Chains A and B, each alone.
Chain A
Amino acid sequence: MTTTDTRPAGVTGDQAGPRSAARPGRPGSRLARARAGLHTLVFLAPMLVVFGVFSWLPIGRAIVMSFQRTNLVADPVFVGFANFQQVFADPLLWTAIQNTGYFALLALVFGYPIPLVAAILMSEVRKMRGLFSALAYLPVVVPPVVAVLLWRLFYDAGEDGVFNTILGWFGIAPVAWLQDADIVMPSLVLEATWAAAGGTVIIYLAALVGVDPSLYEAAEIDGAGVWRKLWHITLPQLRGVLLITFILQIIGTAQVFLEPFLFTDGGPANRTLTLLLLIYRYAFTNSLGGDYGAAAALSLMLALVLTAFSMLYFRLTRTWSS
């Protein structure tokens, strides 16, 4: 212990910081606070550096790049809002917005309730709940690219595709899952729901554990059935979690990329071209040498729209979640 240490004997480093910081005005407390702050800063530094270099710096760079014409090899040229104008003039932008909206809608209609229903059913199971939880979560730990490759086999358009084989048992003709313009988007949503539902199920299960059992007991005494308990106890108790998972789902689906990129490359005929895939195309499949300015401009616009939507959402739902 050094001579400047003012802590009473027996107080460890972990305890000393908050305790001395909680007693301002006492001798040495300012120094102790400064030390605690320094320690905090030093411990934070690696994360701040990593976060700054790999997260905030690229974000800042992307904002600057959205006003530049650059191929990242030659010197960039500032072009004002030309990149934004170019993006707005691209007819594929509206196609991508429609497709992304359609994906988000389908994911909301099918993907949002499924984890909730699964979690509620699983919470009612008394035996092997852990097994069911593990099975539900399993798709989340499968690497996404592997999952897509697996589902490509399921979606094979031939009679020997997995899903088409099953349809064949019932005398139903093969379906071109990834090649029929009307079916391709629901097909992507189905896989995406399968891949992501497990994580949400775990969140709901954790929240369900926190519901006070006495509420259900009281409801049963009052003669409430399963549906009334669900409607009047379970869902209201999960309200906060449901609101959070809703906005996370909207943000996630607005940025869908993996499925359209790996399953269809945006096809057939741009029917699965999403906003992120369009950004990717601007940046990486352009013989002008990468239109990074347009890609950054569209990325920035998407981020701004999602930020505005999130703020509006939280403002509107502030009273609901309390």
Chain B
Amino acid sequence: MLTSRTAKTAAALTALGVSALGLAACSDEPDDGKTHITVTIDAGLEQAAIDAFEARVAQFEDANPEIDVETQEYTWTAGTFTAQLAGGTLPDVFTIPFTDGRGLIERGQIADVSAYTDALPYRDAFNPNIAAAGEDADGNLWAVPIAAYGQGLHYNRTLFEAAGLDPDAPPTTWAEVQAAAKAISDATGEAGYSVMTNDNTGGWILTTVVNALGGRTEDGATATIDTPQMREALTQLQTMRWTDDSMGDTLQYDWATINQDFAAGRIGMYVSGGGNYGNLFTQNGLNPDDYGLTVLPLGTGPDAGVLGGGTLAAVSPNAEAEEQEAAVAWIDFYYMEKLTDQAAAVADAEVKAETGQPVGAPELPVFDQATYDEQQTWIAEYVNVPVEQMAPYTSQVFTQPLLTEPVTATQEVYATLDTVVQSILTDENADIDALLETAQTNAQAAMDAAA
């Protein structure tokens, strides 16, 4: 029998041991001779989509028995990504927007996998403008472009019909957008037109509209916020909000929440990436019959263009060499083969179609137009998205001038413009002159700091 003192000592040591165990509970990967990598799966997927993803993982592991793949839910947002990056909790393979590629590469915050990407058979086939988003100054490909898009105008065909508008003839000018928004709002009580405002998306969409009107928000190292195009965009927004009253009751949106409200039928039109259909349908329950997509109306000037963007697949800076190699193999298998290999493209489309996921949502070519067109013919029989309803977009977007996002301090300048958009939408007496003066100062300061 233990004496009370011995028992007390034992209890204390046990407590100490338990706490030490707790601290040491960060288990390492199993020592089974395999290379273990963690890859991303979209958060909030339906079970069928998860099953389809797991099936792809199983296929990859069968083809690469020396690699073990774990999945981790992941959705890129500015705030969570930065925290995960700093905390070292990103998966080995993750996706990032084109916007952040160059900056992360310059600061060495993603792994330099160019030794492995150089070996990809299609390395030199990328559209140079697209590949640049994932390259360092010397042209080494650190992150692989897996998708590209041009911004588009998403609209709700059902609300168009309810307002007496023709859903097959969506607006082709910003004046028509304004008129359609008022008609929808008057007829249905829903928001005729909405814009994102939060988490830097307000600046992103405002920049999109300014670009479409022919303006730019930077010229080299100089911020060019106060332009005629910016004033035109803000004045129209102010009119729609306060004169037409066509922007509904909810005036604060980020990317996720505007998708939710659009899919729920509460928004007539909004601007976002042309490839949004997948998120709207898979994660927000969009009724396909409601959906319409058209190109952004462009101004008449020679500089008017559609803001492009895209997604890069990158590898964690914490990944060891063999993990980096395995990660690039996964990127090649999961993201790229379906763009370059007929069998892979068909297999991917078949699985998605069987599990009710969208196949055929519009994108821009990552490689050349011919490769893209060929890939579309491979999967034609599996296409299950309402392509006719996207025809106003797909029939014109390839001919629109494609613009890249601002380069310097992109997110900070977007954040500055968030404030401008929010002021216009929530303050009836917002002074555009004063707002632009402040935004110009703040944007220039952010760009100077970044330089």
Q: Which positions in A face B, CB cutoff 8 Å?
A: 1-2, 5, 12-13, 35, 39, 42-43, 45-46, 49-50, 53, 71-74, 86, 91, 156-159, 174, 176, 178-181, 264-265, 267-270, 280-281, 283-290, 292
Contact = CB atoms under 8 A, between A and B. Distances in A.
A241 B326 CA distance: 61
B168 interface: no
Given A181-B427, A269-B419, A1 B13 contact: no
Nearest to A47: B19
Contacts of A86: 449
B363 interface: no
B310 interface: no
Given A45-B16, A268-B425, A39 B8 contact: yes
Interface in B398-421: 409-412, 415, 418-420
- Give the interface SS of chain B, mostly helix, strand, loop or mixed: helix
Interface stretch (B25-33, B195-203, B352-360, B381-389): B195-203
B72 interface: no
B422 interface: yes
Given A46-B18, A53-B23, A91-B442, A290 B100 contact: no
Given A264-B252, A287-B450, A290-B85, 14 more contacts: A13-B7, A46-B15, A50-B23, A73-B109, A158-B250, A174-B249, A178-B252, A179-B251, A267-B252, A268-B252, A285-B199, A289-B82, A289-B107, A290-B86
Contact of A176 (B3, B4, B251, B254): B251
A50 B199 CA distance: 35
A286 B411 contact: yes
Nearest to B419: A269
Range for the number of chain B residues in contact with chain A:
35 or more
Interface of B: 3-9, 12-13, 15-16, 18-20, 22-23, 78-80, 82-83, 85-87, 99-100, 103-104, 107-109, 197-200, 248-252, 254, 317, 409-412, 415, 418-420, 422-423, 425-427, 442, 449-450
From DSSP, what is the main secondary structure of chain A's interface residues? loop
B109 A71 contact: yes
Contacts of B198: 265, 267
Contacts of B23: 49-50, 53
Nearest to A287: B411
Contact of B423 (A43, A46, A269, A286): A269
Nearest to A35: B5
Contacts of A73: 85-86, 107-109, 317
A43 B410 CA distance: 52
B27 to A, nearest CB: 18
Contact of B15 (A43, A157, A174): A43
B86 A71 contact: yes
Given A73-B85, A180-B426, A289 B15 contact: no
- Which 3 A-B pairs have CB atoms at the shortest separation, nearest pair first? A46-B19, A287-B411, A42-B12
A178 B420 CA distance: 17
B161 to A, nearest CB: 23
Contact of A269 (B104, B199, B254, B426): B426
Nearest to A267: B422
Contact of A2 (B3, B415, B427): B3
Contacts of B249: 156-159, 174, 176
A311 to B, nearest CB: 33
Given A71-B86, A74-B108, A288 B103 contact: yes
A184 to B, nearest CB: 9
B82 A39 contact: no
Given A176-B251, A269-B419, A42 B412 contact: no
A23 B3 CA distance: 23
A269 B427 contact: yes
Contacts of A264: 252
Residue in B100, B411, B419 whose Cβ sees the most chain A Cβ within 10 Å: B419
B236 to A, nearest CB: 19
Nearest to A49: B19
A264 B450 CA distance: 27
B86 A292 contact: yes
A176 B5 contact: no
29 contacts: A1-B3, A1-B5, A2-B5, A35-B5, A39-B9, A42-B9, A42-B12, A42-B15, A45-B12, A45-B15, A49-B23, A50-B19, A71-B85, A73-B86, A73-B317, A157-B249, A157-B250, A158-B250, A159-B249, A176-B249, A268-B197, A268-B252, A268-B423, A268-B426, A286-B82, A286-B411, A287-B412, A288-B450, A289-B109
A149 B23 CA distance: 34
